[in-house]
Amino acid sequence: MKRHSTGKKFHRIKGIKKADLNAIISETPKQIEEFIESLSSQGSLIKKVKYAYFQTKNGLKFPGFIATEPIVPNDTLVTLPRETLLTTLQAFESPLKPMFLEYPQFFSPQFHSQWEYHQILAFLLYEYQRGTDSKWYYMIVNFPRDVDYAVFWNTQELESLKDENIIKSARKKYIGLLVTFQTLRYIADKFPNLYKPGIVTMENAIWIHTSIVTRCFGGQGLKYVTMVPFCELFNHECADVCYDLEQQDQSTRYNYEFMTKKLVQGQENDDELSITSSENSQFSEDDMSDSEFVTGEYDQYQEFNFDKFSENSIINFEENIKSFFKKNQSVKSDELIKMRKEFNIRLNIQQDVFQLAIDCKAYLFQTIDFGDNFSIFFLGQIFQQLDQLIQQFFSLERSSYQARAEIQQIKIDCNLYKNFWYSFQNEVLKRPIQQKYNVFAQKIVRKPERPIFSMEQILSQPVDRSCDYYTQAFQKETFKNLLMRTRDPFEKGAQVYFCYSRLSNRIMLLKYGMSLEYNKYDSTFLRVEFLKYIKNKVGIWIVHRFKLNKLKRFKLKHIVPPYELIVFCKLIYWNTNVHSVNTIFNIQDLQLERQALSLALEILIEQNSKFKETIEELEQLLLEKSLGYHQYFAVIYRLERLRIYRRNIHLINISIIVIDKLMKGVPYEKAIERTEFDLDFYETNRYILRKYFDQIRGALYQQK
């Protein structure tokens, strides 16, 4: 089945690892050739790849590496001695060290999260002015001046993405970078002995900063942000090519069995790369905040006020006693004492039961993230159930024993929900969450946005001159060589890629200025106004009381069904009096599942209808010769968003057809046969839906 995974299907569509007949192999540019010769003289080895040019669908040319002979798994394509790599530590131990020590507010980890980038930027500007005297001369002169990323796109180019959230993020980052460049220039002016006039300019800073951001390595054994010569020229694709560190004893992180795919450590899904090439390259852009919070109050629900109830009960009791004594003056004091005692006992029991209900609500608030994408529906129903139970108990429709027993059952259901919720987050959504931690951002109204500090704010932070801000940040690296290795084979004449990480097109645009067609790690967000689906007043009250987000935001992907959206839709129809908690996260009631799928389909189709372009129109637009690089990647971004929506709509339609057939008695193997929504993706769709269909089949047998 793995040969039918989304990744394998996309590779076949794009011809990854196959010879590229449109590649242009010409003489390697002189500066690149000199760069290679310089690296070779320092002990570097480059095998089976050569500099070449490739073309987009509309003929735009871009450089990369082509296989000069067949490449097989476990091949080492590049070997670079540690001394050829530029790290933050080398920048710190340079002649710029006094400047770094003088301004820790800008250059140290205690003050600034981007301190490594600041140090390397300052260092490369310093080395740039040294020309051929610099050890890093060939690296610097090969930094392209015609490459940028979405942060530096103009307004028209950004608007061509047709995504307000990515535009907002790009503009915010641009403002932050302007502050960075202004601050660096101010500091550099304080050290005229280090920088020549005209070196620390906005133009030079943007040029070198862009090369740092788009070419640096980090994570996977590297202790610092690292510039890796030559390897930075590999283009990104979802191919299993990675870097590895060879130690002094020749040992490496990955052994032969792993590199030849005879052993895949912990790999369960073929659509997850076995190697994450740049662990530190996944930033928060992929979950960029676009929150719009509920405002105002909701006055159609009032919490039960036991203190007021108790006060009124006492007043009523006293009035009743007075009235009773007027009519029955012969009543003895012992009887009065007995009546008061019985009243107090009853009031105490009522208080105890009420407190049990309050404790149950408190437990929910403390253990369940009601700001997630669906728990508000569960919370609303449980609160409503508790409110009704208290009302029935106080109106004598429920005994104390019955009320306590029902509250205990509700607690059991809440605990079950919590356990299923954690399992769903960890095992299905792959969001590792530990139960012992209870950090739910939505519970504190809104998360404050990280402000962009001005230069004055950055440099005015108080500094303790007796404090060492740097020593703990640096550890010497001891590996011998950095290796670029492959687990994938490549034909002779194929473009050889390096997987930077599992990157969505959003992150690629914001970090590298590019996007990929048929990117199996791409995703898009579906935003749903959910208040209209809440059927009880207490649920709406909770949303207003805690000022939750107006929208529920679901991440749609190529490689998995929209599980979270399905659970959201299921909870809209879920009823505490009809369904068990198990049915929320597991398929046990096919009718409930069918209702959820139908609503999910309705929501997806409604959102998809808001896009004014079609997949076919954008596919044709990619062939337009008039498109520049920015416009080309913007079209891909919009195209892939539509493809993800189409994929998810088709997956839901297929699931509905399968459930309908099964409920009519069609055998399972016949029910999952090809449908009109499979198109050329029948095997891939069945691979994606295999776990979901297994649950459906299990539910069918349980019902029988």
- Residue 197: what pLDDT? 94
For residues 405 and 471, membership in a common domain is answered with no
Residue that finishes a domain, picked among 374, 404, 433 = 433
Report residue 484 as tokens. 């670029």
Instruction: Find the helix or strand (DSSP H, E) in which 124 lies.
Output: helix 115-129
Q: Tell me: pLDDT of 253 over 60.
A: yes
Least confident of 113-127, 181-195, 277-291: 277-291
Q: Which residues, at least 6 apart from 615, have a Cβ–Cβ distance to it below 8 Å?
A: 639, 642, 643, 646
Q: Which residues, at least 6 apart from 138, have a Cβ–Cβ distance to it below 8 Å?
A: 31, 34, 35, 38, 39, 229
For residues 317 and 232, membership in a common domain is answered with no
With cut-offs at 50, 70 and 90, classify the pLDDT of residue 341.
confident
For residues 421 and 491, membership in a common domain is answered with no
Please compute, for residue 9, the number of CA atoms within 13 A of its CA located in the half-sphere on the CB side: 20
Q: Which residues, at least 6 apart from 281, have a Cβ–Cβ distance to it below 8 Å?
A: 218, 219, 500, 501, 503, 507, 511
With cut-offs at 50, 70 and 90, classify the pLDDT of residue 317.
confident
For residues 670 and 573, membership in a common domain is answered with yes
Measured distance between the N- and C-terminal CA atoms of the chain, rounded to whole angstroms: 29
- Residue 132 DSSP symbol: G
| 525 within a domain of the structure (yes/no) | no
Helix, strand, coil % in the chain, rounded to nearest 5: 50, 10, 40
- Residue 278: what pLDDT? 35
| 323 within a domain of the structure (yes/no) | yes
State whether residue 62 is helix, strand or coil: strand
CATH code for position 460: 3.90.1410.10
Show contacts of 21-30: CB within 8 Å, 24+ apart: 21/493, 22/54, 22/55, 23/52, 23/53, 23/54, 23/55, 23/66, 23/493, 23/495, 24/52, 24/53, 24/54, 24/55, 24/61, 25/50, 25/52, 25/53, 25/66, 26/52, 26/53
The model's pLDDT over 449-463, given as tens digits with 9 standing for 90+, comes to: 566 689 999 999 999
- Residue 29 DSSP symbol: P
For residues 324 and 263, membership in a common domain is answered with no
- Residue 439: what pLDDT? 43
For residues 246 and 139, membership in a common domain is answered with yes
Instruction: Find the helix or strand (DSSP H, E) in which 205 lies.
Output: helix 202-215
The model's pLDDT over 109-140, given as tens digits with 9 standing for 90+, comes to: 999 999 999 999 999 999 999 999 999 999 99
- Residue 434: what pLDDT? 55
The model's pLDDT over 379-391, given as tens digits with 9 standing for 90+, comes to: 999 999 999 999 9
Q: Tell me: pLDDT of 29 over 70.
A: yes
Overall size of the chain counted in residues = 704
Q: Tell me: pLDDT of 568 over 90.
A: yes
Q: Cα–Cα distance between 503 and 278 in angstroms, integer?
A: 10
For residues 264 and 398, membership in a common domain is answered with no
Domain that holds residue 606: 560-703
The model's pLDDT over 70-109, given as tens digits with 9 standing for 90+, comes to: 999 999 999 999 999 999 999 999 999 999 999 999 999 9
Residue that finishes a domain, picked among 382, 404, 433 = 433
pLDDT, average across residues 496-517: 94
- Residue 433: what pLDDT? 62
With cut-offs at 50, 70 and 90, classify the pLDDT of residue 177.
very high
Q: How many domains does the chain have?
A: 3
Please check whether residue 92 is in contact with residue 86, taking contact to mean a CB–CB distance below 8 angstroms. no
Between the alpha carbon of residue 447 and those of residues 164, 292, 297, 549, the distances in Å are 20, 11, 20, 11
Q: Cα–Cα distance between 254 and 246 in angstroms, integer?
A: 10
The model's pLDDT over 367-376, given as tens digits with 9 standing for 90+, comes to: 888 889 999 9
| 428 within a domain of the structure (yes/no) | yes
Residue that finishes a domain, picked among 477, 494, 511 = 511
Q: Cα–Cα distance between 651 and 562 in angstroms, integer?
A: 9
Cα-only R_g, the chain: 32
Burial 330-365 (b: 16+ CB within 10 A, else e): eeeeeeeeeeeeebeeebeebeebbebbeebbeebe
- Residue 553: what pLDDT? 93
For residues 105 and 246, membership in a common domain is answered with yes
Q: Which residues, at least 6 apart from 221, have a Cβ–Cβ distance to it below 8 Å?
A: 244, 245, 253, 479
| 49 within a domain of the structure (yes/no) | no
For residues 331 and 275, membership in a common domain is answered with no
The model's pLDDT over 581-616, given as tens digits with 9 standing for 90+, comes to: 999 999 999 999 999 999 999 999 999 999 999 999
Q: What does pLDDT average to over the chain?
A: 89
- Residue 520: what pLDDT? 95
pLDDT, average across residues 170-180: 94
Please check whether residue 106 is in contact with residue 115, taking contact to mean a CB–CB distance below 8 angstroms. yes
For residues 215 and 328, membership in a common domain is answered with no
With cut-offs at 50, 70 and 90, classify the pLDDT of residue 282.
very low
| 346 within a domain of the structure (yes/no) | yes
**% pLDDT > 70, the chain:** 91
| 12 within a domain of the structure (yes/no) | no
Q: Cα–Cα distance between 108 and 110 in angstroms, integer?
A: 6
| 122 within a domain of the structure (yes/no) | yes
For residues 679 and 624, membership in a common domain is answered with yes
Q: Cα–Cα distance between 78 and 427 in angstroms, integer?
A: 37
Q: Tell me: pLDDT of 538 over 60.
A: yes
Report residue 57 as tokens. 């669908």
Between the alpha carbon of residue 75 and those of residues 209, 252, 422, 479, the distances in Å are 32, 13, 41, 20
The model's pLDDT over 204-218, given as tens digits with 9 standing for 90+, comes to: 999 999 999 999 998
With cut-offs at 50, 70 and 90, classify the pLDDT of residue 40.
very high
| 554 within a domain of the structure (yes/no) | no
Residue matched to tokens 């997850």? 272
Instruction: Find the helix or strand (DSSP H, E) in which 146 lies.
Output: none
Q: Where are the alpha helices (DSSP H) in 424-484?
A: 455-459
Beta bridge partners of 50: 66
- Residue 429: what pLDDT? 87
For residues 415 and 459, membership in a common domain is answered with no
The model's pLDDT over 256-269, given as tens digits with 9 standing for 90+, comes to: 888 887 545 445 45
